[in-house]
Structure 1
């Protein structure tokens, strides 16, 4: 699966890591639901760091369709509230 981090680039992440990413996404969703700014910041940072760690960066000149788009580190809690679905940032 190809995941884009907004403003940063794309990463190829194998499907075997989807469960781990969903656990992190659930923690992020919980922080958003509770209006927990600190928990949100930590959860978003951990999710993005995990995508960077598990994924392989795609060349910047390659523009492939992304299956998921994640906000960058500077995205606010209110901005994420606007883009979250009922399933979080990562559906499934």
Structure 2
């Protein structure tokens, strides 16, 4: 699956949805599933510019830090206002 948008490209507060995983980073899929990032999961982008290289997102019940390879393994799409209605 080709990644159209990376979490790092989303501005703070943007609502996104997980659409799948990049096969190149297949070893990270299990980690993402354990964190609750299954296809169809909505999240809010928090901070993608940590000095440590981590990105943070909010799920409905927790805040998650994702490493660079985990972010690269995720295929996401931003949710626009029209899609939410």
TM-score by length of 1: 0.24
Larger radius of gyration: 1
More helix by share: 1
More strand by share: 2
